[in-house]
Amino acid sequence: MSVENVVKYFNDRNIENPVFKLQASGATVDEAAETLQIEPKYIAKTLAFKLKDEDILIVVRGDLKVSNRKFKDLFRIKAKMVDHDKVLNEIGHPVGGLCPFGLKNEIKIYVDISIKDFDYVYPAAGSRDYALKISPDEMYNLTNAQWVDVCKDPE
């Protein structure tokens, strides 16, 4: 049902459906990058974090990790991931298929500046077997996101 919600999200906005089925697994950044034959940095991984009174999503560059220091400086709380069951049941997509589109409930979305200058990125599309291709600016605009700087610097 999750993939259908992502497709519906784009259809409801009269945007050509960017969702496609992967030829092999996209469960991890490395698997998705290998399947798509691209560098891992172009995979846009969506992470769910718990704040004091709400959960949030942050879309980050596939080959980077979130900096605990930057996260805490921005949100005034230690970075803590949302439990897998809650991601599926309340946000609406499984871990490994999480994306900022077609969500079950309203949630704040942030996009890390690490992907800002890419022409396109490839987030999951509601399943480990589906992805989509989108520009970071279009993702930012469609989701009413905020740009943030929470990733560790690339090496």
The closest alpha carbon to 142, from 1, 2, 13, 6, belongs to: 13
Percent of the chain residues past pLDDT 70, beyond the cut: 99
Question: For the domain bounded by 2-147, which CATH number is listed?
Answer: 3.90.960.10
pLDDT per residue, tens digit, the chain (155 aa), is: 689 999 999 999 999 999 999 998 888 999 999 999 999 999 999 999 999 999 999 999 999 999 999 999 999 999 999 998 888 888 999 888 999 999 999 999 999 999 999 999 999 999 999 999 999 999 999 999 999 999 998 87
| Contact status, residue 101 vs residue 6, Cβ threshold 8 Å | yes
The amino acid occupying position 69 is R
The 3-state DSSP class for residue 123 equals strand
What's the predicted TM-score (pTM) here?
Answer: 0.94
The 3-state DSSP class for residue 127 equals coil
Map out the domains of the chain as residue ranges.
2-147
The closest alpha carbon to 131, from 18, 51, 52, belongs to: 18
- pLDDT score of 110: 98
